[in-house]
Structure 1
Amino acid sequence: MKHMVLHPPAGLDALRLQHCAIPEPGPGQVRVRWHASSLNFHDFCVVTGVLPVASPRVPLSDGAGVVDAVGPGVDDWKVGDRVLSLFFPKWHEGPPRVSHVRQMTGDTIDGCAAQYSVVDAAALTPMPSGWSFAEAATLPCAALTSWRALMSVCRVKPGDRVLVEGTGGMALAALQIAKMAGAEVYATSSSDVKLERLRAIGADHVINYREDPEWGATVARLSGGGVEHVLDSGGRATLAQSIRAAAVGGNVVVIGVLGGVDVQLDLLALIGAQVRLQAIAVGHRREQIEMVRAFERSGVRPVLDRSFALEALAHAFRYQASGRHVGKIIVEIE
């Protein structure tokens, strides 16, 4: 079989296509033939060394494929089942614990940039029925992060107002999930062309943050005092404006750090508005199962940008770094 391997000290030039024997599943394990993956900012941080790996690693956290073989003692899966990976394969439900989040697919353990993987039977969930592998591969990291933020943390309900930032995978999934829940959605981007895409996908209000550096105040004004829920994806570059956009008693959930990790907070503004500030990382297996069911019922499909072959993984990451994409970048594994 073929797989892409990242060699320390990392960097896109350290990605190598290699071949090895197809692994066999042991007790409690299944073998999956992966057909598609998608790129996340977390993956980019791994392959570029921002999140260093100490030994050669197969990258990519997202995977959609088919159960190819079943080990002894596995009753939940059969050959031919269409499945998704888990970002945290040991976190099945409940609040996060150290033991749940120590293993991260494509980071601390090998990921899905491979034709075949052997994983624990509990480290998978079903794919949405009727979806392509490319569509399904967008869900395990970006979409699940947005699902947990909106549905588990914020508990969005019809009529709530939600702010999402940018046109990456998490932002677009958040927009779609918020609309599925009946929310009114505000969205930001630095590009008028991308803002029109956001409108087409369902955003009710759009703001160009490059032309309006005080976009948080603009959101607060347009919404009549602030929105109930803000998903902050920029960290240092966006958090102050995200807090400004939130209503009194609102939620600001940090789901990304695209604009940097070192943040200065105006605690008086935070306290004065009684804003609840929380950071999250992806979600657990039970939430992924719930998310898959919700997408199946809604008929909503993810927004896909370009596809690359596994052999062109470095080129896919360079395209990701360019910022030209709207939606998810797919890696086809043939």
Structure 2
Amino acid sequence: MVIRGQFGAKGIVPCADGAGEVIAIGDRVTKWKVGDRVLANLSTGHLHGDMTPEIQATALGVEIDGTLTEYKMLPAESLVSIPDHLTFEQAATLPCAAVTAWNALNGPTPVKGGDYVLVQGTGGVSLFGIQLAHAIGATVIATSSTSEKLEVATKLGADFVINYKETPDWELDVLDITGRGAHHIIEVGGPNTLLKSIKAVRHAGWIHNIGFLAGSNSDVNPSEITSSLLRKGVIFRGILMGSVSQFEDMNRLISSHKIVPVVDKVFEFDQVKDAYKYYLESQNHVGKIVIRVAST
């Protein structure tokens, strides 16, 4: 959406994710030193607690200049350490997709071991959702459009997989697997999959809304959605990235379980146009696309 000019500020430096090395610090900075490997939270002003309009205005690559640059000055408090086992390329995938997935799984009622978690698709947030939910000890159900993508989901920790093209009524399979429905659903489809998600979630379960990859145009009657949510007492929650505090919590789990992000392809800095073309035109990539600004 940002790339196509459908969301965010105009004329800014793109990209919200980024990993790098500290090359200079301010006089009063004590937490970091030159040479530290760090990541910036996507919203540099979101340290903890709920999102606010003021915090939202600090979103890198959305409201202010992003990370597609050789040097970037950032508030010291917006940074977190890169897990030791990750490369810069792997770590650069974490700020947006991984923190969003973590926020979804760790809301007012966090996912716990034994919970059923349904993850839609195999995009960036969804893949991290599978990895993180699996590490927490949940039983993970993943949907996607091809057997190849579902093989990746299985390798990352999905316990059950459903091809939604072969099984259009996938919500019935979820009910068969879970008995009562999923405790948590990472919903990325939008209005065209939401009614199915409501059928697939248990009473008083959670649907965490990330996006609308199945399209924003829908013939679904909004009253049908609201009445379906009401009848099952479903909690519907919009997810908008996460905070530095959540980022740090997530990185502890990533470090302890040695979770490695899925990187589909790495482009060099002089291949930026190729990277965007690949992202916009390829519908078969699985995992994140990375632009390496400088070699280490």
The question of a shared fold, defined as TM-score above 0.5 by the shorter chain, is answered with yes
Quickly name the TM-score band, shorter chain normalised. over 0.9
Between the aligned partners of 1:51 and 1:272, the Cα distance in structure 2 is: 34
Judge which range, 234-243 or 65-74, deviates more: 234-243
Q: Find 1:135's aligned residue among 80, 90, 94.
A: 90
> Take 2:193 and 2:42, find their aligned partners in 1: how far apart are those partners?
25
Cα deviation for residue 138 of structure 1 reads: 1.0
Residue of structure 1 in register with 2:246 after alignment: 287
Partner of 1:38: none
The residue correspondences of 1:233-312 to structure 2 (distance < 5 A) are 233-261=188-216, 264=220, 265=222, 266=224, 267-312=226-271
In the aligned structure 2, how far is the partner of 1:125 from the partner of 1:303? 20
- Cα distance in 2 for partners of 1:257, 1:241 equals 14
Aligned to 1:224: 179
Letter in 2 for 1:70: I
Q: How far 1:239 sits from its partner (Å)? A: 1.4
| 1:124-160 deviation per Cα after TM superposition (whole angstroms, max 9, x unaligned) | 1111123100111111000000001102344011100
The answer on 1:126 being equivalent to 2:104 is no
Match of residue 167 from structure 2 = 212
Aligned to 1:103, which of 54, 58, 65? 58
Does 2:116 correspond to 1:161? yes
For residues 312 and 259 of structure 1, what CA distance do their matches in structure 2 show?
A: 29
Q: Are positions 1:171 and 2:130 aligned together? A: no
One-letter identity of the residue aligned with 1:311: D
Secondary structure, counterpart of 1:100 in structure 2: helix
In the TM superposition, what whole-angstrom CA distance separates every residue of 1:262-307 from its partner, at most 9, and x where no partner exists? Answer: 5644223211111111111110010001111111111121111111
Q: Are residues 320 and 262 of structure 1, via their aligned partners in 2, closer, same or farther at CA, if it must alter by over 3 Å?
A: same
| Percent identical | 38
CA distance in 2, matches of 1:74, 1:88: 20
| Shift of residue 261, structure 1, vs aligned partner | 3.5
Alpha-carbon distance in 2 for matches of 1:210, 1:92: 41
For residues 51-105 of structure 1, what are the alpha-carbon distances to aligned partners after superposition, in whole Å with 9 as ceiling and x for unaligned? 1533x31110001000011122211211001100111101100122222212210
CA RMSD of aligned residues (A): 1.4
Counterpart Cα distance in 2 of 1:121 and 1:195 = 39
Q: How many residues align?
A: 289
In 2, are the aligned partners of 1:93 and 1:284 still within 8 Å (CA)?
Answer: yes
The corresponding residue for 2:284 is 324
**Residues 212 and 231 (structure 1 numbering): CA distance in 2 closer, same or farther, change over 3 Å?**
same
Displacement of 1:173: 0.4
Matches within 5 A, 1:54-203: 54=10, 56-203=11-158
TM value normalised by structure 1: 0.83
> 1:236: how far off?
2.4
Distance 1:101 1:108 in 2: 8
Distance in 1 between the 2:211 and 2:279 partners? Answer: 15
In the alignment, the residues of structure 1 paired with residue 108 and residue 241 of structure 2 have an alpha-carbon distance, to the nearest angstrom, of 12
**Residues 8 and 63 in structure 2, CA contact (< 8 A), matched pair in contact too:** no
Q: What is the alpha-carbon distance in structure 1 between the residues aligned to residue 23 and residue 58 of structure 2?
A: 23
Q: Which runs of 5+ in 1 are unaligned?
A: 1-44
- Checking the alignment, whether the CA contact within 8 Å between 1:154 and 1:229 is kept in structure 2 is no
TM-score between the two structures when normalised by the length of structure 2: 0.93
1:332 is aligned with what amino acid?
Answer: R
Are 2:85 and 2:258, in contact at CA under 8 Å, matched by a contact in 1? no
Q: Secondary structure at the match of 2:85?
A: coil
Query: Aligned to 2:72, what secondary structure does the other structure show?
Result: strand
In 2: Cα distance, 1:57 partner to 1:107 partner: 8
Unaligned residue ranges in structure 2 (runs of 5+): none
